[in-house]
Amino acid sequence: MFFQNSDNNLLSSLNPEQLAAVTWPPQSALVLAGAGSGKTRVLTTRIAWLMQNGQADVHSILAVTFTNKAAKEMYARLSAMLPHNLRAMWLGTFHSLCHRMLRLHAQDAGLPKTFQILDTADQAALIKRLLKQMDIAEERLHPRVLQGFINAQKESGLRASVLEASDPHTRLLVQCYTEYEDICRREGVVDFAELMLRSYELLEHNGHLRRHYQNRFRHILVDEFQDTNKLQYAWLKLMAGGGASVFAVGDDDQSIYRFRGAHVGNMAELMREFHIDGPIKLEQNYRSVGHILQAANAVIANNEERLGKNLRTEAENGDKIRFLSAYNDLEEARFIAEESRCLQKDGVPLGQIAVLYRSNAQSRIIEQQLFQAGIPYKIYGGLRFYERQEIKHALAYLRLAVNPDDDNALLRVINFPPRGIGARSIENIQAAAAEQGCSLWQAACGMGEKAVKIAAFVRLINTFTEQAPVLSLPDMVREIIDDSGLYRHYQNQKQAAEQERTENLDELHTAAIWFKPEDSPFETLPENAAEQPTFPILAFLSNAALESGENQAAEGQEAVQLMTVHAAKGLEFDAVFLSGMEEGRFPSELSINERGGLQEERRLMYVAITRARKKLYISMAQQRMLHGQIQFGTTSRFVDEIPAELMHYLSPAQSDFARQQHLSASPNRIRQDAYESIENQNFHGYRIGENVRHNKFGTGVIIDALDKGTSAKLTVNFGKQGIKELDTEFAKLEKLN
């Protein structure tokens, strides 16, 4: 054992696993820290123990975190543990530490001493300026695409000079990357990705400096090691190349940032390259009750190539996981809202309730139901549905369709998607409007056909204005989403986050399908609005403004937290709702067919489950409106991987009864006719959308049926077993609802 009696106060609160990690000999180690196992305590106590025992001082320690928040927390804990002045310790994020190094050695790094850092917005502005200088229109190369390309190359350690281009588009990207590097060099600026790459190159090419830091930092400690990318790991190896010990803390089961470049394989490579025989495992969980941990263990056990651990707790088993297979997405959202109200009445603070979903588009209907139930909520790490960029763009077009003189709406979309109407053209329109005392729209119309691009925009809005009184609200919204070019614009983006915006546009269309004009408060509408042919559009716009403006909780107010599962990492709540658990949604359809994708989705599920301390609710919708059509869902394979004895299944009969109760009680009920018409079709005792069980294929949902007279041919989606066609005359199907 490597501690003295004077260490007792420092080590007394540690469990045996934590104690083994903290008092590990001065050699490299990988600490496999499960969710809620106290990894931050281990990391900070390890630093304090090294210093208290004279094995290290503030100058010989390099501690790396992934967020500034984590760095501040670690610094505060160390300050409380140690009497030392810690200001000289190198403790911070990868980017902050590389910035510190480059400030000290700017000349050696080829930078001016006064170099400035570009934040994300500054970098975007420089890229827009670059594209303008190179006379490259946004339609040809969008600034965000180029920004993502440049950052991805730098994070892979690649300069423009070493890239090869096999097609015209890539050649254009490389050409712009080259020009971008030249501009940054001339102006003495660096972006965030450059901090890491330039620091790595400095160490790699300057042997004297590299040896200096290798001799100085004898103990390198890294938090969230599973999230490191290849360049960060390469930088760490250079720093540790003089024989320093690397003490890495991480959890391969929580590696969920592959889309950002995280390389979970770094953990296995660390063990091999630093001669670590096996990881130290922290498996004692201090967060969740037993049933939740058992569910997490059962799900993640299905992943291959894990380093392997099994969470345990000394806490009670707690409530079973409640699972609802809701009739549709509306019923699912209502269940979440009403159960949240019940939890609040039982003493659970609203701030300790979280609703998680796989993609942002799922938030709209949940927001709507929380709003109607009068439950304050907040979108964590993102925007409310009606505040999202793509939604505001679409609504601006809709506003112009009923009122072209809306100057704010016109300025928002006159050049979005990009159509070549530059700042000078817009200034000319504004000057003409001021001179004539008219709206921007009237000024734009007065410019005639000579202003070709403005004239094209005028024709587009005129088309929408002509269609507004004629088309139904859903058709009008779809027309705008498609004909404005918004959907195509986001669909063509290379970045997944940009492409995801198309899901939100589809969800806006769904909102229009279910919207009932009479449900919109009339006091928010123009006078005599109900008499106008465009009343449904006016009511929809009014309702969108109301929902975006009033229903999110005020600063400091207790509120239910809504977020994606990715955003939830690192957080914990007393009660968690995990919604939209249908095959193809979570796991996503794309991940199922992508190499390594399904394993990452399962890790994401593991993260979602382990956010819950006391209560976990999982829900799915048998029917969900997507892309303007009703789609039928089967239960996610991840739900099936949770042992039945850990689950409390809310029966379909109960949920059907609850649905009828909601419909009769709500004055603002959303149309059910499309769902009802499908539900009521009967095919020899079976209904489309009904859950069934087959003795060979397991459980599934009927997605189509054909009446053959004496029997029916049923098309059943059995999830992992695939879609099967079965004849009711021969197939033995047990109805589950």
Residue 660 pLDDT class (50, 70, 90 cuts): very low
198: left (phi over 0), alpha (psi -120 to 50) or beta: alpha
Active-site residue, selected from the candidate residues 40, 389, 442, 715: 40
Quote the pLDDT of residue 653. Answer: 42
- Among candidates 284, 253, 317, which has minimal Cα distance to 647? 317
**Catalytic residue flag (residue 40):** yes
Quote the pLDDT of residue 526. Answer: 60
Active-site residue, selected from the candidate residues 194, 223, 252, 498: 223
DSSP lists the bridge partners of residue 357 as: 564
Quote the pLDDT of residue 504. Answer: 92
- Among candidates 48, 47, 39, 57, which has minimal Cα distance to 9? 48
pLDDT of 206-257, one tens digit each? 999 999 999 999 999 999 999 999 999 999 999 999 899 999 999 999 999 9
- Locate 187 and state its tokens: 């102006």
Given a cut of 90, whether residue 626 has pLDDT beyond it is no
Residues for the chain: how many in total? Answer: 737
**Catalytic residue flag (residue 39):** yes
Q: Residue 507 carries which side chain, given as an amino acid letter?
A: E
Active-site residue, selected from the candidate residues 147, 232, 254, 534: 254
pLDDT of 398-452, one tens digit each? 999 999 999 999 999 999 999 989 889 999 999 999 999 999 999 999 988 888 9
Strands 723-727 and 712-717: antiparallel
pLDDT of 257-301, one tens digit each? 988 888 999 999 999 999 999 999 999 999 999 999 999 999 999
What value, to the nearest 5°, has the Cα angle with vertex 121 and ends 103 and 228?
60
**Catalytic residue flag (residue 224):** yes
CB 169 within 8 A of CB 145: no
- Locate 510 and state its tokens: 């769904």
Q: Residue 716 carries which side chain, given as an amino acid letter?
A: V
In the block, tokens 């409530």 appear at: 319
Q: What is the C-alpha R_g of the chain? A: 29
Instruction: Tell me the C-alpha to C-alpha distance, in Å, between residue 364 and each of 302, 357, 385, 476, 633.
Output: 32, 11, 6, 20, 19
- Rounded to 5 degrees, what are φ and ψ at 89? -70, 140
Active-site residue, selected from the candidate residues 287, 478, 611, 637: 611
- Segment among 316-330, 456-470, 654-668 with least mean pLDDT: 654-668
Active-site residue, selected from the candidate residues 194, 224, 583, 679: 224
Residue 670 is classified by DSSP as P
Q: How far apart are CA 262 and CA 231, in angstroms?
A: 10
Calculate the CA 285 to chain-centre distance: 25
Quote the pLDDT of residue 50. Answer: 94
Torsion of CA 84, 89, 91, 95, to 10 degrees: 160
Quote the pLDDT of residue 664. Answer: 40
CB 255 within 8 A of CB 35: no
**Catalytic residue flag (residue 226):** no
Residue 736 pLDDT class (50, 70, 90 cuts): confident
pLDDT of 538-550, one tens digit each? 888 887 877 665 5
Task: Please name the residues in contact with 543: beta carbons below 8 A apart, sequence gap of 6 or more.
Answer: 515, 519, 520, 524
pLDDT of 160-174, one tens digit each? 999 998 899 999 999
410: left (phi over 0), alpha (psi -120 to 50) or beta: alpha
**Catalytic residue flag (residue 254):** yes
3-state SS record for 276-294: CCCCEEECECCCCCHHHHH
Within the chain, how many helices (H) and strands (E) appear?
31, 21
Task: Please name the residues in contact with 112: beta carbons below 8 A apart, sequence gap of 6 or more.
Answer: 106, 188
pLDDT of 690-734, one tens digit each? 788 888 888 888 877 777 778 888 888 776 667 777 888 788 888
Q: How far apart are CA 579 and CA 568, in angstroms?
A: 14
Calculate the CA 238 to chain-centre distance: 32
In the block, tokens 């189509």 appear at: 704
pLDDT of 327-374, one tens digit each? 889 999 999 999 999 999 999 999 999 999 999 889 999 998 998 899
CB 534 within 8 A of CB 654: no
Average pLDDT, the chain: 87
Given a cut of 90, whether residue 386 has pLDDT beyond it is no
Residue 189 pLDDT class (50, 70, 90 cuts): very high
- Among candidates 47, 2, 48, which has minimal Cα distance to 23? 2
Quote the pLDDT of residue 528. Answer: 65
Between residues 204 and 10, which one has the greater pLDDT? 204
Q: What is the mean pLDDT of residues 617-630?
A: 84
Active-site residue, selected from the candidate residues 18, 39, 506, 634: 39
Instruction: Tell me the C-alpha to C-alpha distance, in Å, between residue 469 and each of 230, 391, 460, 483, 531.
Output: 56, 22, 16, 17, 12
Residue 627 pLDDT class (50, 70, 90 cuts): low
Residue 732 is classified by DSSP as -
